A and B are shown apart, each in its own frame.
Chain A
Amino acid sequence: MRSKTTLTLATAAAILAAAGAAQAGTLENLERERALTIQTLLSPSLTVSERQQKIAASKHRLVDLERMVLRDKSLVGANRPVVRKAFRSYDLTFLVHASVEKDRILIDHWLEQVGVSTHNLMNARVGRR
């Protein structure tokens, strides 16, 4: 019984050590923050002021993270799917920078990039497929 507990503890320690060794890069950090921001933008459970507050904090972090990714030399020519996808769509990856550049609010810019615009919504009709 005692040896079983020791073994479990050793395994847990090894897993924790491995998790500690795996360090996320700038792009992974940006993607995580961006996902949380979009989640906040779309979350129906938040009030307007709560959303505004959270978005402001996220935006602050995203501004820095986007610049870190663009200046990260380790990503130059790093031919990985995540890097390829990130640089294929500048407007989606560097969300804050692109939205400010185009003078649009964050949610409008994101919706436009994923193909949902006010014009599209206004023209949409409810119908049977």
Chain B
Amino acid sequence: MQPISRTNRVNRLAMLARVAFGVCVLSAVFLASTAGANTAVWEPSASEKLVKLPATYLKKAVDRDFAKSELATALTDVKSQIGLKTQTLQDLQSAIDRAEGEVRTELRHQFLAEKQEFIKLMGEQQELQRKQVETKIRLYERLLDKLGRSKAATSPQRAELIKQQNEARQRFEATVTAVDMKLFDSTELTESKYSRDYAKNMSAIESLVLAIQEHPMNQEAELDGQEVTKEDYLRHLIADNQARVAILDQEETILGYMAKLVALDAMALSEEVAGDNLAADGLAGEDGEISLSSTVDFFITQ
């Protein structure tokens, strides 16, 4: 058995100290990742203009507003960092497979540190996505409230008046041709300038109304091929975003488990470097993708 040289012993001790420090730091990875609160905000307002927009255009308008916000910039930034970090993890994982001895230990340590960074970034991304989704839910709920309020603002007396006015208009429309025939056929009355001009403008208005009705931006929103009202569409958007919140909750759990695995890996590496051969060896990673569930392999292999 070869005695360990003084230089080697110092190197090993230094490595051990670094790994031990890593264990302490990594144990707080998850908390640190969520505590690093991002100050980027998105503050959309449920304006009257937004309430009056056609349902199909409403979502696009909200998405466009988000795209211009600080929150969207921060999210894009974090996503690109995650992309780069994923690439680094893949490179390190394949390098570990090829390396041996101290280089391998050093690479494993670096891999752990990169995983820590990755978890931190994923935590930031989740936090930003949660902010986005929760803001969207609040916005859609406010829009739904406003829509309800504007409809409920009709008092019974006013509703009765509107009903009578509709009935009057229907009665008038139903009989106007017959009345005109009787009125203007006699020599007593001739068609007035108002009637002539009105009829002329009416045909122009009718063609414009038809064009508006057929305009793609004026189409009612559709869900599963069925046309739905604006309220139904807003409720659908709220439900969609709530589902996203539930998925984010689940992803948070995954992130927590990943952090725990990194801490355990760090402990195993520390033991290994100290001479206890307890940690399991051999990394067999697959190509990781940017989505959280597809990066689980970085954490469940050692």
> Residues on A close to B: CB < 8 A?
56, 59-60, 63-64, 67-68, 70-71, 75-79, 83-84, 87-88, 90, 94, 97, 100-101, 103
Contact = CB atoms under 8 A, between A and B. Distances in A.
A59 B154 CA distance: 36
Given A76-B165, A77-B154, A79-B161, A94 B172 contact: yes
Interface string B162-179: 101101110110011011
Contact of A70 (B155, B172, B178): B172
Contacts of B155: 79
22 contacts: A59-B188, A63-B195, A64-B192, A67-B194, A67-B195, A67-B198, A68-B194, A70-B172, A77-B158, A77-B161, A77-B162, A79-B155, A83-B161, A87-B164, A87-B165, A90-B168, A97-B175, A97-B176, A100-B182, A100-B183, A101-B179, A103-B182
Contact of B165 (A60, A75, A97, A103): A75
Nearest to B160: A84
B152 interface: no
A115 B171 CA distance: 22
B223 interface: no
Nearest to B181: A100
B179 A100 contact: yes
Most buried by A among B165, B175, B194: B165
A70 B169 contact: yes
B172 A63 contact: no
Contact of A97 (B157, B164, B179): B179
Nearest to B173: A70
B192 A60 contact: yes
Given A76-B162, A77-B162, A100-B182, A56 B172 contact: no
A14 B142 CA distance: 47
A104 B167 CA distance: 22
Given A77-B161, A79-B158, A97-B175, A63 B168 contact: no
A105 to B, nearest CB: 12
B189 interface: yes
Interface residues of B, number: 25
A68 B172 CA distance: 12
Contacts of B194: 64, 67-68
Nearest to A83: B161
Contacts of A83: 161
B160 to A, nearest CB: 8
A64 B195 contact: yes
A68 B169 CA distance: 11
Nearest to B155: A79
A80 B7 CA distance: 98
Given A63-B195, A78-B161, 18 more contacts: A70-B169, A76-B162, A76-B165, A77-B154, A77-B161, A77-B165, A84-B161, A87-B161, A87-B164, A87-B168, A88-B164, A90-B167, A90-B168, A94-B168, A94-B172, A100-B182, A101-B175, A101-B178
Contacts of A84: 157, 161
B189 A60 contact: yes
A70 B168 contact: yes
A97 B174 CA distance: 12
Contacts of B165: 75-77, 87
Contacts of B198: 67, 71
Contacts of A56: 188-189
A63 B171 contact: no
Contact of A63 (B164, B169, B183): B183
Contacts of B178: 101
Given A87-B168, A94-B168, A101-B178, A63 B192 contact: yes
A79 B162 CA distance: 9
B171 A90 contact: yes
Contacts of B188: 56, 59
